[in-house]
């Protein structure tokens, strides 16, 4: 047999995604290129690795066993690469972080310099909702997680990164000219929610519940970007994190409605399981955050502190 590491990797991605198209996207290859590699790999076995029923790709039992073996082989190769870098005195290995979807506006700034300093570190960043973030943390599948709502049922340790403030946002074409509105305004408007399991939705629902509001008309969308686009289109209002709408406030396409009790304030926290034994990479990253946090905030997030101090909001 003369299969290559590349063929193993391509087949593993096909097996994991159960789709040549999805594997091609993940591998940054064309679909025909993936199909050719899969065919060349298959030719070296007398038993089928995959089968197509209808238009759906299935991995055979034999293919599943080969996929497991391929993953082990590729993990060992990866370990060899890391050991080579370590022998040269370079920090190497994987850094695994899960973040809530709005955290994509935060986390890259706390990663950029660290990854530039340590090119031997591979980053695995999972961007999802709060529920799945906490599941991956609880199952010890990641080194760190980024959340704005701390978990109740998991023992954790944390580093506070920066403030998180949520305001009521509407399309800028709508007229809201009062200096302050009562919270009952949410009963008069279509309110756009994030999906179940979202931290932003949890905060928003708590605010509505604590103010005994009856919101008769509401929409549910998956992801902060989808909610933002719906608000931009004038479908309704939403209570959204300030950090995710800087550009829209700057260009005048969104406006903040001053509502009694808002903004809702919390903090972005980098969290990890209490008592977790860190890898050298994770340990180095935690030290980096502790040493560089204030500089990163001053360089990239000073506008948030300034606007939260002023309370509201005409970004320049």
Which residues make up the CATH 1.10.10.10 domain(s) of the chain? 5-87
Please identify, in words, the CATH class of the domain defined by 93-162+266-310.
alpha beta
Return contacts of 49-53, CB within 8 angstroms, 24+ apart: 49/11, 50/14
Q: Give 200-257 pLDDT, tens digit per residue.
A: 888 888 999 999 998 877 789 988 889 999 999 999 999 999 998 988 988 989 999 9
pLDDT averaged over the chain? 88
Could you report the per-residue pLDDT of 109-158, keeping only the tens digit for each? 999 999 999 988 989 999 888 889 999 999 999 999 999 889 988 999 99
Please tell me the predicted confidence (pLDDT) of residue 92.
82
Q: What residues does CATH 3.40.190.10 cover in the chain?
A: 93-162+266-310, 165-265
Provide, rounded to the nearest whole percent, the portion of the chain with pLDDT above 90: 52
Q: Is the pLDDT of residue 95 over 50?
A: yes
Rounded Cα distance, 18 and 57, in Å: 6
Q: In the CATH hierarchy, which fold is given to the domain comprising 165-265?
A: D-Maltodextrin-Binding Protein; domain 2 (3.40.190)
pLDDT of 28 above 90: no
Q: How far apart are CA 20 and CA 27, in angstroms?
A: 10
d(CA 94, CA 75): 11
With residue 161 as reference, give the H or E element that holds it: strand 156-171
For the chain, give the percent of residues with pLDDT over 70: 94
Mean pLDDT of 50-76: 90
Distance separating alpha carbons of residues 164 and 204, to the nearest angstrom: 13
- Using CA atoms of 235, 237, 243, 249 in order, give the dihedral in degrees to the nearest 10: 70
| Sheet strands (E) in 103-147 | 121-128, 144-147
What is the second-level CATH architecture of the domain 5-87? Orthogonal Bundle (1.10)
């Amino acid at each position: 047999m003369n299969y290559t590491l590349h063929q193993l990797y391509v087949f593993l991605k096909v097996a994991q995604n159960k789709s040549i198209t999805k594997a091609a996207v993940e591998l940054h290859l064309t679909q025909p290129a993936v199909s050719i590699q899969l065919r060349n790999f298959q030719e070296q076995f007398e038993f089928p690795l995959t089968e197509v029923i209808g238009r759906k790709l299935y991995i055979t039992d034999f293919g599943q066993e080969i996929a497991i073996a391929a993953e082990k082989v590729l993990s060992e190769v990866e370990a060899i690469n890391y050991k080579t870098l370590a022998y040269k005195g370079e920090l190497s290995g994987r850094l695994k972080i899960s973040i809530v979807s709005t955290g994509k506006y935060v986390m890259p700034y706390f990663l950029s310099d660290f990854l530039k300093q340590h090119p031997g570190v591979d980053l695995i960043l999972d961007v999802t909702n709060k529920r799945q973030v906490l599941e991956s943390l609880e199952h010890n599948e990641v080194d760190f997680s980024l959340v704005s709502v701390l978990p109740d049922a998991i023992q954790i340790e944390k580093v506070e990164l920066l403030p998180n403030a949520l305001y009521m946002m509407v399309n800028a074409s709508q007229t809201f000219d009062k200096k302050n509105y009562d919270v009952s305004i949410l009963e008069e408007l279509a309110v756009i929610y994030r999906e179940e399991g979202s931290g932003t939705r949890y905060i928003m629902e708590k605010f509505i519940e604590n103010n005994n509001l009856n919101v008769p008309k509401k929409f549910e969308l998956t992801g902060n970007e989808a909610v933002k686009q719906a608000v931009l289109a004038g479908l309704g209002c939403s209570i959204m994190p300030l950090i995710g709408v800087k550009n829209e406030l700057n260009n005048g396409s969104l406006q903040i409605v001053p509502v009694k009790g808002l903004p809702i304030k919390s903090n972005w926290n980098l969290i990890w399981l209490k008592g977790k034994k860190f890898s050298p990479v994770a340990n180095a990253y935690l030290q980096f955050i502790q040493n560089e946090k204030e500089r990163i905030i001053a360089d990239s997030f000073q506008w948030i502190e300034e606007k939260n101090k002023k309370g509201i909001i005409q970004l320049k």
